Chains A and B, each alone.
Chain A
Amino acid sequence: MAIEVNGLVKTYGETRAVDGVDLHVAEGEVFALLGPNGAGKSTTVEILEGHRTLTAGTVRVLGMDPETGGRAYRERIGIVLQESAIEKELSVREAIDIYGALYPRRRHTGELIEIVGLEDKADSRIKTLSGGQKRRLELALGIVGDPELIFLDEPTTGFDPSARRQAWTVIDNLRSLGKTILLTTHYMDEAQALSDRVAVIRSGEIVAEGTPDTIGGRDDAATTIGFSLPSGTAPPGMGEVPQESGRFVLAVPEATKVLHRLTSWAIDQGIELGSLTVERPSLEDIYLELAAEDTDG
């Protein structure tokens, strides 16, 4: 196990920011921690990074205690924080050189600049970079020490779509190098695209955990079939079909049978099923459900 967390609790005065979190991340796994702001995501990650002390529970990362691991621990991890500047007077190349010099094993500066796509800006001062470019430099600084484990706290917040794709490619490459990655993000497509497993944290507790495709019963959830028909027609034998703005919408557990009946009927009748869609619930649908259950209880 790269990360082993049991019964982690962190309190600030009366507030229990993290309230009994268990987390197990295998070596080489990309694990995404999802949750609304203030749910305890960042606090959990910062405890693992060694930035914060824990109130109760046990934490082992790479077989070490982040709180006491010190230099030896930090030589093996890479951190991309959410909000932390880099000395703006330095150039991209200088920053990578200077931070790289802090690690015993380091990646080549030119190679890193290429990986994060900052070749054009290599000798520009950091203060002249755009937000997305700075974030990519931060990613480069996070991996300059060739870490075994990388913490990525909202790595692509504020990126434009093409920069995000580029960052995803970088992260995907890290995965293929066998690195373990702990990711937090607000973007469900990002979690879907990058992670092997995800966990949803809410009010300091993990409420669901699984692969992006199965979490929260996503694989068992009903399929939604949508289509529109000329007025006056209705598919037979399906009872009262709910309709949304002239469109039929069916949520069915066994989509194959229903689709077969529906399409056979349409072909027999010579009717076109307008704008036919068959949809699985997205990770975002499941996430919103899991994150929102708060208001019920």
Chain B
Amino acid sequence: MGEHNSSLSLVWQQVRYQNKIFWRTPVAAFFTIVFPLMFLLVFVTLFGNDLIGDVGVTTAQFYAPALAVFGAVSATYTNLAIGTAISRDEGILKRIRGTPVPPWIYMAGRVGSAVWVAFIAVVLMMGVGVIFFGVELYTAALPAAFVTFVIGVACFAALGLLLAAVAPSGDAAPAIANATLLPLAFISDIFIVPSDASPGWIATLASIFPLKHFAVAFADAFSPIEVASRDGWLDHFHWKEFGVMGLWLVGGAILAIRFFSWEPRGGERKRSARRRAKTAAQS
């Protein structure tokens, strides 16, 4: 019946429309696309682009993939959480719920758009690294990098939607997103080069969460030492890291579905209170 086709084209339509909105929201576009690039520039300028002792790669070779992961996570986790929570509070989700579009198609559109933005952030970061800072790519490890990207953004999109589901309000969502992501980024081999000198419990703590696994699996595909130590493209796949991210993906998705609401927070009572206040102000 072409039902399958029409669902796909509906999803595609939703992705395009979410994308349009994203690129017209300068704050989100700046923090996701420009901010990580600025970090790369700052780190390379501060530290110089020489070999870093503990990891044996250049500053850019370490930071470009690490910050690419950061951009991808900011596009999926942070943006998706904030955007969805705000849309919910403004009543946009409720409006959508009153139209014929199946809820999953709308959500697929939001996620699809976030993943597309994440992809652009990653490609741009690696492109800038290659063109300006001598970052090297290794063909044999690129499939592994791509699979890592797919699993990583899926995981963080699920967690972003979970955050949107549990955030008490759209205003609270940015604070929660940043308060969870930024500290984790410092211990997950993203902002700071891993060092043997740091206490072991930090590494243990970080390995509970998915961010470090995303960063390590992705970075290893761009590390000359790691790449040289493996042969065959399948050998570059980081199954343990995929497994941890997969667990967070499944858990996040289940909880997000369980707690997700299309209604503005506070529901009827809060809205009628707001309405009364508004009516009182008018008369």
A contacts, CB < 8 Å to B: 12, 17, 37-38, 42-43, 49-51, 70-72, 74-75, 77, 79, 81-87, 89-90, 94, 98-99, 101-104, 125, 141, 145, 158, 186
Number of residues in B with C-beta < 8 Å to the partner? 29
Tell me if A43 and B268 are in contact (CB < 8 A): yes
Contact residues, B256-273 vs A (CB, 8 A): 263-264, 268, 271-272
User: Does B198 have its Cβ within 8 Å of any Cβ on chain A?
Assistant: no
Known: A37-B276, A83-B271. A99 touches B99 (CB 8 A): yes
Contact residues, B34-93 vs A (CB, 8 A): 87, 90-92
Q: How far is the CA of A71 from the CA of B87 in the complex (A)?
A: 21
Which of A83, A90, A158 has most chain B Cβ within 10 Å? A83
Tell me if B92 and A86 are in contact (CB < 8 A): yes
* Neighbouring B residues of A104 by C-beta, 8 Å: 100
Tell me if A37 and B100 are in contact (CB < 8 A): no
User: Does B98 have its Cβ within 8 Å of any Cβ on chain A?
Assistant: yes
* Neighbouring B residues of A125 by C-beta, 8 Å: 24
Which of B21, B91, B98 has most chain A Cβ within 10 Å? B98
User: Does B95 have its Cβ within 8 Å of any Cβ on chain A?
Assistant: yes
CB nearest to A154 among chain B residues: B275
Partner of B21 from the list A37, A42, A89, A99 (CB cut-off 8 Å) is: A89
Q: How far is the CA of A244 from the CA of B169 in the complex (A)?
A: 54
Q: How far is the CA of A223 from the CA of B268 in the complex (A)?
A: 40
Known: A90-B21, A101-B13. A83 touches B98 (CB 8 A): no
Contact residues, B5-31 vs A (CB, 8 A): 10, 13, 17, 20-21, 24-25
Distance from B169 Cβ to chain A, minimum over Cβ atoms (Å): 15
CB nearest to B262 among chain A residues: A51
* Neighbouring A residues of B279 by C-beta, 8 Å: 37, 186
Partner of B99 from the list A17, A102, A158 (CB cut-off 8 Å) is: A102
Tell me if B20 and A145 are in contact (CB < 8 A): no
Pull 21 A–B residue pairs with CB atoms less than 8 Å apart, ordered by A.
A17-B268, A37-B272, A37-B279, A43-B268, A50-B98, A71-B101, A72-B100, A74-B99, A75-B100, A83-B91, A83-B264, A84-B94, A85-B90, A86-B95, A89-B25, A98-B13, A101-B13, A102-B100, A125-B24, A141-B95, A158-B282
Known A-B contacts: A38-B272, A85-B90, A89-B21. Give 13 more (CB < 8 A).
Answer: A42-B268, A51-B97, A51-B98, A51-B263, A71-B101, A74-B99, A81-B94, A82-B271, A82-B275, A84-B90, A84-B91, A84-B94, A90-B20
- Chain B facing A: main interface SS: helix
Distance from A274 Cβ to chain B, minimum over Cβ atoms (Å): 32
Distance from A160 Cβ to chain B, minimum over Cβ atoms (Å): 12
CB nearest to A87 among chain B residues: B21
* Neighbouring B residues of A81 by C-beta, 8 Å: 91, 94-95, 98
Q: How far is the CA of A72 from the CA of B101 in the complex (A)?
A: 10
* Neighbouring A residues of B276 by C-beta, 8 Å: 37
Tell me if B17 and A98 are in contact (CB < 8 A): yes
CB nearest to B89 among chain A residues: A85
CB nearest to B263 among chain A residues: A51
Tell me if A71 and B98 are in contact (CB < 8 A): no
* Neighbouring B residues of A158 by C-beta, 8 Å: 282
User: Does B102 have its Cβ within 8 Å of any Cβ on chain A?
Assistant: yes
Q: How far is the CA of A37 from the CA of B271 in the complex (A)?
A: 11
Tell me if B92 and A71 are in contact (CB < 8 A): no
Tell me if A94 and B94 are in contact (CB < 8 A): no
* Neighbouring B residues of A86 by C-beta, 8 Å: 92, 95
* Neighbouring B residues of A42 by C-beta, 8 Å: 268, 272
CB nearest to B91 among chain A residues: A84
Tell me if B268 and A84 are in contact (CB < 8 A): no
* Neighbouring A residues of B100 by C-beta, 8 Å: 71-72, 74-75, 102-104, 145
